[in-house]
Structure 1
Amino acid sequence: MKILVTGAAGFIGSHLCERLLEINDVEVIGIDGFIIPSLNQTKLRNLRFLLTNPRFAFHQVDLRQTDLKQLLEGVDVIYHLAAIPGVRTSWGSDFQLYVDHNIVATQLLLEVVRECPVSKFIYISTSSVYGEKAGKVAETSIPTPLSPYGVSKLTGEYLCKVYQESYGIPIVILRYFTVFGPRQRSDMAFHRFIKGIIKGEPIQIYGNGLQTRDFTYVKDCVEATVSALDAKDVIGEVINIGGFERASILEVISMLENLLKQKATLEFMDRQNGDPLNTWADISKAQRLLNYTPECSLQEGLKQQTIDICKNYL
């Protein structure tokens, strides 16, 4: 089986490629455009083990400016993770990047898939499409994104749905909830918290720190994502991928202080536009369709991410 993964050099994409290559007779074609220059070194580090595998082929290309038809030759399944991430940076003139890479690139890829049929097109979306909701959020909840980023990812979902309706592309949509763990980007909260505590630098907290998230360890997230490969009755479905342990930002910092045996210096900032106060995934659909059971505790996941940061980023 030949699988194409866009965003293959990213945080989750690199973990996904490694996991797919553990499956016998799977070849992986990885695509990444290295769009954000400040992440280039991190992405090269993410790829280092993948590039030693003879069943992995990597192409550093922009999806909007390459011969996608040639890249898709013989491909059976597509995982489309490539996107410009980040809620806080999606406002203002930077939104054009989100339009180009989260919307336009997705539409161009879907156009080519019309002519190069695949058995599944798995689109990776985000809990940011939901916006502010009370309690557990099921896939039936009406999306009301709070940020341009959320709008761009929801637009990608709608593009997938109209191409499925009109051209029969076998779409599966997975919505990730706050993924953390080794290789998390340096601009993301846990990475900033761990690095700040270790270096004795102030940690910026947006809002009062009481906002809660449904944290998902990256390897749990990847197991669910790989399960979609062979799962039955998932075509056309939207599926939440979340964890089993919610916590507030201040609770996470307390856990890190205990883990690192150092106190954090907190610098409270204004709450940022686009950030919901709480997220909480109803994962019953993933449990039913993907046989998904998250296993890694928040404490253990933080420990593994701390080890990774000490080894690779300090």
Structure 2
Amino acid sequence: MGLSLLRHRERVIGMAKIIVTGAAGFIGSHLCEELLRNHQHDVVGIDAFIDLSTPKWIRKRNLQHLLENPRFSFFEGNLLTVPWEQILHEADIVYHLAGMPGVRSSWGPDFVHYTDHNITATQRLLEGCKQYGIKRFLFASTSSIYGEKSGKVDESATTLPLSPYGITKLTSEHLCRVYYENDGLPVVILRFFTVYGPRQRPDMAFHRFIKQMFDREEITLYGDGTQSRDFTYISDCVRAVVAAGFADDIIGETINIGGKERATINECIALLEHLFQYKASVKVVGGIYGEPTSTWADITKAERMLGYSPAIDLKTGLLLEIEHLKKLYQYVK
């Protein structure tokens, strides 16, 4: 579906009240900004600041420009306890991005936080959406649900997560389908492939690598660097997510959102060295426990149903993230 057609459909729908959970996060804050570009939308962001991998001051900074927009309102609250009558009343669309992120931290006793915030919170939100008659519910899932695969992966591939985190996201997908099949809740599932760019979480590889290069520290590497990823730049990702909120004939569908360019981690480090104009020292600090050696999205379905066409190549995307982090860490000094 072309962009002009999408805009036409948005005008037909008219004013929409849109809920974004996880609004202070990396993808959530960008999504709110993109939604607000349409002046017919009111956006309500929800966040409980539970993600310990991102300092609260960074997440609050993500909200700064949003709070200046009169069509944006923010509700600080936990999805496990938030009163739905205050949030979902007269809401049209819910984008559910909130949750506990991270593969490595999902092992051990912290798993209880993943079950609470990824599974139980999703089930409670689905109940609320059923009660208030939401017109579309979009769930942000992950390529982690596929597990180890070779070659391009489409949405019909078997799902065999390698980590407790992946298990919780797949369980949430199943919950979405249960409410779709039994209650007619208009659900769409979007599976993200390694999203990067400005506001990326500090524990994610590119953020960590770039900061270490600014500080002239060793790059900390998990694995041998030959693992490859399908990298999706944030602006490409959120345009697809917005489109999924309004596209026709996608209720009940699961759709991959991948990027323009795949690369190994070693190739990414070499590209960063080129951009920084110096040779980095690399220190292997662990294996890729719980993570696949390769991800590669077949985005044929997104192209057909959403008019999706990722535009940002890896070099351009890394330059934009470098500029963001340069400003971010000057901001605190």
* TM-score clears 0.5: yes
Matched-pair contact (CA < 8 Å) for 1:198–1:262:
no
**Match of residue 5 from structure 1:** 20
> 1:87, 1:149 within 8 Å by CA — same for their partners in 2?
yes
2: CA distance, partners of 1:224 / 1:27: 19
- Structure 2: which amino acid aligns with 1:5? V
> Is the 8 Å Cα contact of residues 164 and 170 (structure 1) preserved in structure 2?
yes
Superposed displacement of residue 244, structure 1: 1.9
Residue deviations 1:150-190 (CA, integer Å, cap 9, x gap): 00000110000001111110000000000000000111100
Indicate yes or no: 2:45 matched with 1:34. Answer: no
Specify the alignment match of 2:321 in structure 1: 305
Take 1:234 and 1:138, find their aligned partners in 2: how far apart are those partners? 16
- Which of 174, 182, 195 is matched with 1:179 structurally? 195
Match of 1:238 in 2: 254
In structure 1, the residue matched to 2:33 is 18
Q: Specify the alignment match of 1:162 in structure 2.
A: 178
Contact 1:131–1:143 (Cα < 8 Å) also in 2: yes
Q: Report how far residue 134 of structure 1 moved.
A: 0.8
Q: Displacement, 1:191?
A: 0.4
Amino acid at match of 2:40: D
1:275-294 to 2 correspondences below 5 Å: 275-294=291-310
TM-score between the two structures when normalised by the length of structure 2: 0.93
Secondary structure at 1:213 match in 2: strand
- Asked if residue 205 in structure 1 is aligned to residue 221 in structure 2, the reply is yes
SS of residue in 2 equivalent to 1:313: helix
Q: Is the 8 A contact 1:102 1:156 kept in 2?
A: yes
The structural deviation recorded for 1:270 is 2.9
Q: What per-residue deviation string (whole Å, max 9, x for no partner) do you get for residues 46-75 of structure 1?
A: 000000000000001001112023210110
- For 1:69 and 1:241, how far apart are their aligned partners in 2? 32
1:102 alignment partner, one of 101, 115, 118: 118
Q: 5 Å matches for 1:193-272? A: 193-272=209-288
Residue of structure 2 aligned with 1:59, choices 57, 72, 75:
75
Are 1:133 and 2:154 counterparts? Answer: no
Q: Distance in 1 between matches of 2:88 and 2:151?
A: 41
C-alpha separation between the residues in 1 aligned to 2:223 and 2:133? 47
The one-letter amino acid paired with 1:300 is T
Matched, 1:295 2:311: yes
- Runs of 4+ in structure 1 deviating by more than 4 angstroms, as ranges, are none
Matching of residue 78 in structure 1 with residue 94 in structure 2: yes
3-state SS of paired residue (1:48): helix
The whole-number CA distance in structure 1 between the counterparts of 2:206 and 2:168 is 24
* Cα displacement (A) at 1:139: 0.1
* Contact residue 197 and residue 263 of structure 1 kept, 8 A: no
Contact 2:256 2:298 in 1 (8 A): yes
Are residue 93 (structure 1) and residue 115 (structure 2) matched? no
Q: Does 1:150 align with 2:150?
A: no
CA distance in 1, matches of 2:306, 2:239: 9
Asked if the contact 1:32–1:61 (Cα under 8 Å) also holds between the matched residues in 2, the reply is yes
DSSP 3-state at the match of 2:77: coil
CA distance in structure 2 between the aligned counterparts of 1:263 and 1:91, rounded to whole angstroms: 34
- Is contact 1:197-1:265 (8 Å) kept? no
- The residue identity in structure 2 corresponding to 1:81 is L
Cα distance in 1 for residues equivalent to 2:273 and 2:57: 28
Between Structure 1 and Structure 2, how many residues are aligned? 314
Code of the residue aligned with 1:33 in structure 2: it is A
State the 1:20 CA deviation.
0.2
The CA distance in 2 between the partners of 1:270 and 1:181, in whole Å, is 24
In the alignment, which of 100, 106, 113 is matched to residue 129 of structure 2? Answer: 113
Asked whether the 8 Å contact 1:75–1:118 carries over to 2, the reply is yes
5+ long unaligned stretches in structure 2: 1-15
Shift of 1:275: 1.0
Whether the 8 Å contact between 1:131 and 1:145 is mirrored in structure 2 is: yes
Residues 51, 101 of structure 2: 8 Å contact kept: no
C-alpha RMSD of matched pairs (Å)? 0.8
In structure 1, list runs of 5 or more residues that go unmatched: none
**Percent of residue pairs identical:** 54
* Cα distance in structure 2, aligned partners of 1:282 and 1:66: 37
Letter in 2 for 1:23: N
